[in-house]
Amino acid sequence: MSTILLLLASAIFFIGFVMYNKGMFAGKNTPAFTAWAVFSVITFVNCLTYLGWTATWINIMLLFTDFIICFFTSIFILIRIGWKVHIDWKDKLVVAISLAAILLWVIYNAAAYGNLFNQIAYSVAFIPTYRNVWNNPRNEPTRVWFVWTIAFVLNIVALVIQPTTQTMDYVSPVVCLVHHVAVTILSMRKMKIK
């Protein structure tokens, strides 16, 4: 049952990816490139550190799907904006902090510490998305972020029903869930008319 839930979560996450990028190419939402570019690196490291911790491929299914989605969304954003990227000092700071967290993983060379450091990097990488959705809630589509939230809920439920799940196994999916819920809520705000 756990495997089915993890596969279902990955399929749901992929459906959200199609919806998100379709909306972006239609001009309905405007993603923050820096966030997605950093997510591409961080979600890859998340897969490596989480796999090192759990030693179970099926447990990283959703995180691996997340990596693929982040990577291709970054490419699609570049195509959409004509490869003209604007990165301000705040974005550069996000990138620097995220890379520092990954560097700590390399230095300590331990999957558990690496995964914890990576959650810091993952959380910091959300800052451009939070800024983006705060400036204009329509920049991030509520329905898609809700779909992604459901995928992480299924991921956590799958871990709950696995008899070998340890407390550390929950860290990455819970951190992902919290950020996806936050963006979902922020995207539901109404724009104030000036």
DSSP labels, the chain: -HHHHHHHHHHHHHHHHHHHHHHHHTTS----HHHHHHHHHHHHHHHHHHHHHH--GGGGHHHHHHHHHHHHHHHHHHHHTTT-----HHHHHHHHHHHHHHHHHHHH--HHHHHHHHHHHHHHHTHHHHHHHHH-GGGS-HHHHHHHHHHHHHHHHHHHH-TT--GGGGHHHHHHHHHHHHHHHHHTPPPPP-
What pLDDT shows up at residue 165? 76
Reading the block at residue 25, the tokens are 């190419």
Average pLDDT of the chain, as a whole number = 81
Confidence of residue 142 (pLDDT cuts 50, 70, 90): very high
Domains: count for the chain:
1
d(CA 81, CA 76) in angstroms, rounded, equals 9
Q: Is residue 110 part of a domain?
A: yes
Task: Give the range among 6-10, 129-133, 146-150, 165-169 with minimum mean pLDDT.
Answer: 165-169
Q: Is residue 92 part of a domain?
A: yes
Domain range spanning residue 63?
Answer: 2-187
Q: Is residue 192 part of a domain?
A: no
Q: Is residue 55 part of a domain?
A: yes
The pLDDT tens digits of the residues spanning 7-54 come to 898 899 889 999 988 988 888 888 878 788 888 877 787 777 666 666
Neighbours of 95 (CB within 10 A): 19
Residue carrying the six token digits 């199609």: 18
